[in-house]
Structure 1
Amino acid sequence: MDEIANFEPAEVFSLAEYLCEEMGARGWTTEDAAIRMGGTPEEIARKLLKLDIVLCVQKDNMVLTDDFFEDLGRAFDVSPELFRNLDATWRKWPDRRFNGFVMPDHMFGPISRRSMIRSVQ
C-alpha cells in the first residue's frame, strides 16, 4: 500500500488531450460533446464555449467546477471522477506533463472558434 501512496507518474497528460482522444474515437466535434452534456440551448452554448476554452488553453489557474465534471461524465457516460482525477493529476505533477498536445482544428466543427479563443489569450 505504501508503494501506491508514493507513486510518481512518468508522464501526465491534460484533460484536454484525453477529451480530444475520446471525441476523436467517437467521431464527435466539440458541438457534439456539448449537446450530450445536456441543458437548454443557452446552457449548451455556454458549455460549448467552456469546452472549447479547456481544449485550447487549459492552464493551472483555470477553474473547473464539479458541474463541468458532471456534464463531462454525462456526455461520455462515465463517472465524473474520471475527469476530476485526470485534472487533479495534471495539476499535481507539472514537471511530468507532456507539453506537445495541440487540439486538431477538425474537432471544433465547421466553424473553428480556436482562432477567436487564441486571439484573446
Structure 2
Amino acid sequence: MQDKLQELLDRLDANLEDFRKTWESSDKAKLIDGSREITAIRDAHYYLTESHGFEPEEIDYLLLFENPLQVVADKWLERTEDLSDFSFALDEVFDKQDALRDYERKEKPSVLEQLRKAPGLTPEPREKSAPAKEAR
C-alpha cells in the first residue's frame, strides 16, 4: 500500500505542477476569472497530500485517473458553487458583530467635518484687510 500511496502523492504533485505551468503562462484576467478553480485545485492538493488518511480502495480508485487532482477539485468546486451556505456566514457577521473588533472600520467624520463639506453651508474665506496704521 505504501508504494501505491507514494505513487498517488507523486501524481498529485505532478498534476499541481502542470496546473502551475498553465497558470504561469496565463494572463492576469484569466487568472482572476479562474481564481475559484485555482483555489479549489490548491485546496484539494493540500487536503489530499497533508490531511487525508487514505484507505487502500481510495488510493486504487484515484490512481485510475490521469489527473486525480482535477477529479477531486471539480467535486470540491461543485460543493462550493452552492452559495446557499453564504447566508450562514452573513448570519454570523450580523449576529456576532465580532467584525467590529477584528476589522478596521471606516471612520465616521465628525459633525463639524460634515458641515464643512456640505455645499453652500461654509462661507467663503474672506481676505484679511491690511492692518490699519496707528496714529501717533
Q: TM-score, normalised by structure 2?
A: 0.23
| Rg larger for | 2
Q: Which has the higher contact order (CA 8 A, sep 6+)?
A: 1
TM-score by length of 1: 0.25
